[in-house]
Amino acid sequence: MTVSTDLMDEVAIRFDSLENKSTPINDKSPTTKHILKEKGQREVFCGLTGIVWLHRKIQDAFFLVVGSRTCAHLIQSAAGVMIFAEPRFATAIIDDKDLAGLADANEELDKVVSQLLNRRPDIKLLFLVGSCPSEVIKLDLSNAAARLSKTYSPKVKILNYSGSGIETTFTQGEDACLKSLVPEMPRVDNKANRQLLIVGTLADVIEDQFSRLFNKIGIKNFAFFPPRNSSNLPEIGSNTVFLLAQPFLAETALELEKAGAKHIPAMFPFGVEGSYDWFLSAASHFGISESKVKAELEPYINRAKYAVDKNLKFLNGKSVFFFPDSQLEIPLARFLQNELGMKLLEVGTPYIHKKHIDKELTKISSSAQISEGQDVEKQLDRCTNKNPDLIVCGLGLANPLEAQGFTTKWAIELVFSPIHGFDQAGDLAELFARPLNRREKLEGLNRNSQFVEDLQ
Ligand code: SF4
C-alpha cells in the first residue's frame, strides 16, 4: 500500500444494477401517488466525492481513502486543488500485492497510518474511508479503526465509513461520515434547556448568517453538526431537536433519533419559501410566535425576493428536467416552480426519504413527474421527447446533451456552491439562469454571423 495524492482526470461512474425496470408505485398517499420508481443503469458519482466539502469543513480531520488509483484520481480532480502545503485527504493505494493476498492489507494499512500520523501531528480525527476495492478484498475497516484507535488514543480519534460506489452515491458519503460521528457526540441531560442542532455541512459564511438569524428570532441554544473542529462535537440529549440543512442525511437522522434527538419536519432552506419555513419550523419548537419570526426575518425576505425577481422575467414559463444526482433535486425544483415560475417536466432524484421530503413534495405541482432511482436510457428518452428548455444533470450526461442542442446545468455545481438561506436565494436563481443566458447569447452570435455571411 502506498499513499497517493496525484492530480489526474475526472471520473464519472456508471453502474449496472441487476434489475432493469420501471415501476410506477401504487401508493395511496397524496404525496407519492405520482412517483415513478426506476432501477437500472445510473450515472452518478460515488460517495467519496463528499470528502471534497467535508475536509474543508472539519479543519482538524483527515480523510484516508483505502482504495485504488481511480479513487485517488476522483477526489483529487473533484476537489480541484493543487498539491500545495498539506492536503487533508489522501488515498492508501491497494496495489497488486494486496489484491492478490500476498501482503497483509491490515499490516500495510497500519504502516501507512503510522507514517501519516508521524508526519502530521495536527490530525485529531482520522477517517478511514472504504471504497469498492477495499470492499472487494473484504478489508474490515471498522475493525481496523477500532484497533488503530487503541494505539493512537487519546491523541487521535480514528473512525471509518464507506464511500464506495457499490454502497453509496454522491452525497451519501456525507451521510455515512456524519453517521459515524454521532456515537462520538457527548450525551447530556438537557431536559431544562432545549437545544437545536443544525445538521448538514454548510459553508462557514452560511453558518454565520444562520447563527445571526437564529439569535434574532430568539433561539440561543443551537449548534452546527458537523462542527468546524472535531473537539467541538455538539452535545446531544433527550431535549435536543434537529433541523436538517440537507435532504440527503437519512442515516444520520436515524442515528440522532436513536440517541434521543427529535427531528423537526421542515422544508429545506433553499429560496425564500424554504428558508422561511425552515426558520419558522424551528421557532415553533421553541414557543416563538410566527409574528415574531416574520417581523425579524422581513428585511431578509424582502431583500431575497428582490434578488430572486431579477431572474423571474427570464425564467418564468421555461421548462426544466432534473436527472437524479444529489438528492437536492426536489427542494430545488420547488424553488424554481414557486419562486421563478418554471415548469417542472420531470424531477428525478436518487432516493426519496419520505419523512424528510414530504413537506417539499406537497408544494410541487401534480403535473410534474417525480421519479426515484434511474434507468438512464429510458430517462434520456423521456427527457429528449419532452424537449426541456433546461436540463439539470451530472457531468457525464451534460456534454452529450449539449451536443444535441440542449441547455444543461451541472448538478454538481449546486452542491459545491453556497446556496442555502435568504442571502443566497438570488445567486441560486442566477445559477439556473446562467446557462440559458449563455445559450441565448451564443444563438444571437450565430444569427449575427449568419446575417453577415448572407450580406457578403
Ligand atoms: S470508490 Fe469505487 S466508484 Fe468510487 S472512485 Fe473508487 S472504485 Fe470508483
Largest CA distance in the chain: 82
What DSSP string runs through 80-110? T----S--SEEEEE--HHHHTT-S-HHHHHH
> Do residues 161 and 20 share a domain?
yes
Distance in Å, CA 38 to ligand 1 centroid: 23
pTM: predicted TM-score of the whole model, two decimal places: 0.90
Looking at the fold, whether 268 and 332 belong to one and the same domain comes out as no
Same structural domain, 72 and 125: yes
Question: Whose alpha carbon is nearest atom 8 of ligand 1?
Answer: 71
State whether the beta carbon of 67 lies less than 6 angstroms from ligand 1. Answer: yes
Please tell me the predicted confidence (pLDDT) of residue 18: 30
- C-alpha of residue 372 to centroid of ligand 1, in Å: 22
Q: Indicate if ligand 1 lies below 6 Å from the C-beta of 74.
A: yes
Give domain status of residue 453, yes or no: no
Grid cell, residue 416, equals 459545491
**Domain's final residue, options 134, 160, 184:** 184
Strands, E, within 293-441: which ranges? 319-322, 343-349, 369-373, 390-393, 408-410
Nearest CA to 108 among 88, 127, 126, 128? Answer: 128
Residue 190 lies in a domain: no
| 46 Cβ inside 6 Å of ligand 1 | yes
Same domain, 147 and 221: no
Per-residue pLDDT of the chain (456 residues; tens, 9 = 90+): 665 543 332 233 333 333 334 444 434 444 545 799 999 888 788 999 999 999 999 999 999 999 999 999 988 887 765 555 568 899 998 877 766 665 688 998 999 999 999 999 999 999 999 999 999 888 999 999 999 999 999 999 999 999 999 888 889 999 999 999 999 999 999 999 999 999 999 999 999 999 999 999 999 999 999 999 999 999 999 999 999 999 999 999 999 999 999 999 999 999 999 999 999 999 999 999 999 999 999 999 999 999 999 999 999 999 999 999 999 999 999 999 999 999 999 999 999 999 999 999 999 999 999 999 999 999 999 999 999 999 999 988 999 999 999 999 999 899 989 999 999 999 999 999 999 999 888 887 777 777 667 766
Indicate if ligand 1 lies below 6 Å from the C-beta of 49: no
Question: Residue ranges of the alpha helices (H) in 104-140?
Answer: 105-119, 132-136
Interatomic CA distance for residues 342 and 427, integer angstroms = 16
Which residue's C-alpha comes closest to atom 6 of ligand 1? 71
Regarding whether 287 and 383 lie in a shared domain, the answer is no
Query: 40: Cβ below 6 Å to ligand 1?
Result: no
Task: Return the amino acid letter for 208.
Answer: D
- Shared-domain flag, residues 97 and 174: yes
Domain boundary among 282, 307, 332: 307
The answer to whether residue 118 sits within a structural domain is yes
Question: Do the beta carbons of residue 413 and residue 328 sit within 8 Å?
Answer: no
**Same-domain pairing of 400 and 421:** yes
CA–CA separation, 155 vs 60, rounded Å? 12
Q: What is the pLDDT of residue 99?
A: 65
Q: Which residue's alpha carbon is at the smallest distance from atom 3 of ligand 1?
A: 165
Instruction: Answer yes or no: are the C-beta atoms of 340 and 316 closer than 8 Å.
Output: yes
Q: Ligand 1 pocket test: which of 6, 10, 46 has the largest number of ligand atoms within 8 Å of its C-beta?
A: 46
Is the CB–ligand 1 distance for residue 164 below 6 Å? yes
| 260 and 300 inside one domain | yes
Query: Are 73 and 159 within one domain?
Result: yes
Ligand 1 pocket, residue 71 CB under 6 Å: yes
Count of the separate structural domains present in the chain: 3
Any atom of ligand 1 within 6 Å of the Cβ of 75: no
Give the residue numbers spanning the domain of 90: 11-30+47-184
Which residue's alpha carbon is at the smallest distance from atom 5 of ligand 1?
71
Per the listing, cell 426536489 goes with 330
Report the relative pairing of strands 343-349 and 61-67 from DSSP bridges: unpaired
Mark which of 275, 291, 307 sits at the end of a domain.
307
Contact criterion met (CB below 8 Å) for 323 and 441: no
Instruction: Give the CATH number for residue 87.
Output: 3.40.50.1980
Same domain, 379 and 287: no
- First-to-last alpha carbon distance for the chain, in angstroms, is 66
Q: Ligand 1 centre and the CA of 70: distance in Å?
A: 6
Instruction: Say what the pLDDT of residue 17 is.
Output: 33
